[in-house]
Structure 1
Amino acid sequence: MQIGYHKLKNRLFLAPMAGVTDLPFRRICSDYGAGLTFSEMMSTNPQVWHTEKSKLRLSYHQDVGINAVQIAGSDPDEMAQAARINVAYGAQLIDINMGCPAKKVNRKMSGSALLQYPDLVQRILTAVVSAVTVPVTLKIRTGWDQKNRNCVEIAKIAEDAGIQALTIHGRTRQCLFDGNAEYEHIKAVKQQISIPVIANGDITSPQKARDVLDYTGVDAIMIGRAALGNPWIFKSMEALLESDSIVSAPDLDEKCSVILRHIRDIHQFYGEEKGYRIARKHVAWYLQGIQPNSDFRQTFNSISSAAEQLDVLEDFLNFTRLDRKNVRTTT
């Protein structure tokens, strides 16, 4: 798999997710086999480029591989300038967001709202591609609503503008995350353009990943929500897709070790005051795969100290491991 001059280790990508794909999470997903990970979405508003929040989103470590940064906006000149600034900060690939369905993003005529205006899409893509020497990619949805699925038209515009790869989330903006992903429209796009196409949406297991690749003929897949609390999904997917083998999920000991490492990294990355707040949602996602009916989440969320969070979490995970071992011994 190759995007521009970047040679990727496999066909499995971690989707850019606001509030999720920070450096600690990208590093873990990369360790478990994600071939490309994207930063959280960066606004093209120049007033926020130098804020602490933006600096954190731009944080990069060579452990995550290619430094891919996603930008969002609606003004071609601002988008071009944002791309140049991010490349100057170390971005090795620029991804343009035209797929986000959030109202607060769409109200600014950004994200998937742009799919309503193909001429503006063309101007933005041309401006950004011309502004930088690194590969530029694009993420879209199948259209604005079910009566206006124009993903094939947008894909052709993207290819003509010099976009190096196209990711398609298989829903319209109107669908948000409801219903089933529309893989038939992703397949139609793949048949019409020659640049790499990446499928996104509802890919939650290794078998589903292979089925989507086989049906659509795309070059790669992108995993979003299925990786929340489950970063090891990339390892099992890579095994099936690249070597036709089955790799089980890590055992409980390994999972617990990863969870503790992740929370420590979050505390260190964000600092005491913000770190313990960010940690809460990740622990909630991890619990879904370990103790989904546990009351521990409520206990954990009441803690306002990073050190105490780690102590309580480690005690809970140790108890969970011991309890599982006792159950196996007595059955």
Structure 2
Amino acid sequence: MKNHNFFTKSTVLFIAFITVFFTGCVKDFIGHGGGKKTLKVKTIIGTDFPANDGLHVAPDGTLYASNFGVFDPALGKYNGTQVFEIDKRGVKVKAEGLEAPMGSAEDSNGNLYFNTENNNDAVSGVLVKVAPDGSSSKITEIPGWPSGVTIDEQDVLYIANFFAPTIHKVLPDGTISILATDDRLFGCVGIDVDDEGNIITANFFTADILKVTQEGEVSLIANIPNTTQGFAIGYMTLFEDDIYATGISENVIYKVGFDGTTEVFAGTGENGSVDGKLNEASFSAPNGIAADERRRILYISQYGEPGLRAIKF
């Protein structure tokens, strides 16, 4: 795979615009603290946000976002090609020349990982590493449609699969194996690792939230009710002992307990991008979600109307 570490003139202009916009929003969003506050949804970047898929937050608060794109009938495939880096200075292209990148994870050396080149053929996809300098390289090919990706403290990667009943495991040296095979894993996208090393994953089709142990045992944590079957859950993340998942068709954010309880955490269900209190705000096909645990922020990308949304605890 070729290296992609350059910017076009239009990209530079875009970055300059977003830098001013984003910096102001962050200052306003974080606020000055003090007292118990009402949780609210706030738009960090509006319709200029260039990504609609997986999110990842680095320890320093930098956010990475993959752009899966939308289906282009002329191309016969999804048209996203870029991964973005977002911080207080603005938005910049981290890597480009990819093919509908999905997911996002970062190892201890600052390398980012994405799944790409599956693009609706359901035959196989490619796990890609993006180095800190923005250069990209192929790690391995994975059968099916590799989707979400997460990583543990030992830099072991775990890959969900949208079109195969598997969870793959990839060691730092590139050795790949199947951690688990179970029909319930077919259609999983959102994926994370809990404090005990279990893999938690969400099924896009069925709204099942599943646990996979290091021995490959699969069990059901919860099924989120009243979802649109076949288009139920985008991504999910773990935050402060709970699971947060995006209801991509229902335009809400779900909160799921490890005891199996489920609730609508944020969103009215209306399709929109209205900020406000959790039960008054609206989302437009929320998709990616990631937790900044240190700063206690949930970030959400949208597959519908473009936008980067956030909830600060």
Relative contact order (C-alpha < 8 Å, sep 6+): which is higher?
Answer: 2
Between structures 1 and 2, the one with greater helix share = 1
Larger Rg: 1
Between structures 1 and 2, the one with greater strand share = 2
